[in-house]
């Protein structure tokens, strides 16, 4: 498969990029405003993302075939205030994507956001996004996918929006077989440092409220709004702004940095050199790489049926 070119907007630590590189793509431009995410990105990809996308002219971005954008989701999340497009600092960043798509007219794009985007403001927010993308001439496909269905022990539901200039035949990927999915035992580290273990009073409080005290280990639990502790053979969704003890393994310890990266499907050689809180924030803001890779495979398959631009060979 020949290389295709893509850009990585709101790139975070590069989850979308890794998914598309796995199917032969070449990233030619990235943008991220968070300094610490840029530090991690640069350490792993050897290049520092451009800064604030609102200050970058579309004409200064090299030509590309696919736009990737995990645009900021806090304004649409159930957890947040759900301000949507009224949030001037987060919600309207979608229009930066629209601006670049309008100028560059790439063959396709893939956007990622929280599940709640679909229902936010009684569906009005998603309708605005959908209509703006349609007006640019794109055929739009959207679906909520769960990381649990693509091999990871993390229940993480996110909406993906794929668009194509041509009316190609595209379907989102189907879940993989359960026997091919990783379990908690596959991703948990052995001989974990004592610094990850919670205080005895926290552990005892959690265990006292555990719904099923005979639940088999290993498990991961989190505390719901009512204060109940429910064990699962998988993690709930990693969250950037969650409390330090949002999820606990066996109600004894926090996940290590490497375990959080594994829950998102990052490779073992992915480098981390920041404090625990920063890594937790970055993993919570990132995407599940196996989900992105599966979507990328289907997008490339769909795009093989036509030539992307003049003098550009089929993949």
**What sign results for the dihedral spanned by CA atoms 193, 12, 133, 52?**
positive
CB 129 within 8 A of CB 123: no
How confident is the prediction for the chain on average, in pLDDT? 89
What share of the chain has pLDDT > 90, as a percent? 73
| 254: pLDDT strictly greater than 50 | yes
Least confident of 43-57, 90-104, 205-219: 90-104
pLDDT digits (tens, 9 = 90+) for 137-148: 999 999 999 999
| 155: pLDDT strictly greater than 70 | yes
pLDDT for position 36: 96
pLDDT digits (tens, 9 = 90+) for 257-306: 999 999 999 999 999 989 999 999 999 999 999 999 999 999 999 998 66
Using alpha carbons, select from 141, 134, 2 the residue that is nearest to residue 65: 2
pLDDT for position 2: 63
| 312: pLDDT strictly greater than 90 | no
Confidence of residue 228 (pLDDT cuts 50, 70, 90): confident
Question: CB count, 10 Å around CB of 145?
Answer: 22
Overall average pLDDT of the 16-38 stretch: 97
Overall average pLDDT of the 232-237 stretch: 96
DSSP 191-219: S--GGGBPPHHHHHHHHHTBS-TTPPSS-
CB 286 within 8 A of CB 73: no
What gap in Å lies between CA 116 and CA 138, rounded to an integer? 23
pLDDT for position 174: 97
Written as six digits, the tokens of 292 are 């992105």
Confidence of residue 309 (pLDDT cuts 50, 70, 90): very low
Q: Which of 27, 38, 73, 283 is catalytic?
A: 73
- Name beta bridge partners: 149: none
pLDDT for position 242: 84
Dihedral of CA atoms 90, 94, 100, 102 in degrees, nearest 10, equals -150
Q: Where are the beta strands (DSSP E) in 44-193?
A: 66-69, 108-114, 139-146, 154-155, 157-164
| 88: pLDDT strictly greater than 70 | no
pLDDT digits (tens, 9 = 90+) for 47-83: 999 989 999 999 999 999 999 998 775 454 444 444 5
Higher pLDDT residue, 101 or 243?
Answer: 101
pLDDT for position 95: 84
Residue count of the chain: 315
pLDDT digits (tens, 9 = 90+) for 122-135: 778 888 888 889 99
Q: Name all domains of the chain by residue range, CATH numbers in brackets.
A: 4-177+288-303 (3.40.50.150), 180-283 (3.90.120)
| Residue 84: DSSP 8-state | G
Question: CB count, 10 Å around CB of 267?
Answer: 11
- The yes-or-no answer on residue 27 being catalytic is no
CB 30 within 8 A of CB 50: yes
CB 9 within 8 A of CB 56: no
CB 47 within 8 A of CB 28: no
pLDDT for position 244: 82
Question: CB count, 10 Å around CB of 178?
Answer: 9
pLDDT digits (tens, 9 = 90+) for 156-185: 999 999 999 998 999 999 999 999 999 999
pLDDT for position 121: 75
């Amino acid at each position: 498969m020949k290389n295709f070119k893509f850009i990585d907007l709101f790139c975070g630590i590069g989850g979308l990029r890794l998914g598309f590189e796995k199917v032969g793509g070449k990233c030619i431009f990235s943008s991220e405003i968070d300094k610490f995410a840029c530090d991690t990105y640069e350490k792993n990809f050897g290049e520092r993302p451009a800064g604030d996308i609102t200050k970058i002219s579309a004409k200064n971005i090299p030509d590309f075939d696919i736009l990737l954008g995990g645009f900021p989701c806090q304004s649409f999340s159930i957890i947040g205030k759900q301000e949507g497009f009224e949030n001037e600092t987060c919600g309207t960043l979608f229009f930066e994507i629209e601006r670049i798509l309008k100028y560059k007219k790439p063959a396709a794009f893939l956007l990622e956001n929280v599940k709640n985007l679909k229902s936010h403001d009684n569906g009005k927010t998603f309708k605005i996004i959908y209509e703006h993308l349609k007006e640019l001439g794109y055929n739009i496909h959207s679906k909520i996918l769960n990381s649990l269905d693509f091999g990871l022990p993390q229940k993480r539901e996110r909406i993906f929006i794929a668009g194509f200039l041509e009316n190609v035949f595209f379907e989102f990927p189907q879940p993989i077989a359960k026997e091919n999915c990783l379990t908690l035992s596959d991703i948990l580290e052995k001989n974990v440092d004592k610094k990850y273990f919670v205080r005895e009073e926290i552990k005892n409080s959690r265990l006292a409220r555990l719904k099923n005290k005979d639940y088999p280990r290993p498990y991961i639990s989190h505390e719901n709004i009512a204060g109940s502790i429910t064990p699962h053979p998988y993690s709930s969704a990693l969250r950037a702004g969650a409390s330090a003890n949002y999820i606990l393994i066996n109600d004894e310890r926090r996940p290590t940095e490497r375990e959080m990266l594994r829950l998102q499907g990052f490779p073992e050689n992915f480098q981390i050199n920041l404090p625990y809180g920063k890594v937790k924030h970055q993993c919570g803001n990132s995407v599940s790489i196996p989900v992105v890779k599966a979507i990328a495979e289907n997008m490339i398959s769909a795009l093989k049926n036509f030539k992307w631009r003049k003098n550009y060979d089929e993949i």
